Amino acid sequence: MKKTYKIEVDCANCANNMEEAAKKVPGVKDCAVSFMTLKMKVEFEEGAEINAVMKDVCAACKKVEDDCEIFI
């Protein structure tokens, strides 16, 4: 399953760091973050609990970019 989330991030490099961090979270099959559209597209692994995975994605992104926001 794929879902798109609105994000708030300051620069393209920050968006890239968020994307790389999200890809490492268990339950995430793939992730793409666009600084231009301020959107994060997440593809989840089969059977993943989306809400739990997104909490982990938010935590991972906050570690690399503490002022980012993901609107779940």
Residues 6+ apart with CB under 8 A from 57: 21, 22, 25, 28, 31, 42, 70
Instruction: Report the CATH number at residue 47.
Output: 3.30.70.100
pLDDT in tens, 17-60: 999 999 999 999 999 999 999 999 999 999 999 999 999 999 99
Structural domain containing residue 52:
2-71
Q: Please, what is the average pLDDT of the chain?
A: 96
Q: Is the pTM of this model over 0.85?
A: yes
Number of domains in the chain: 1
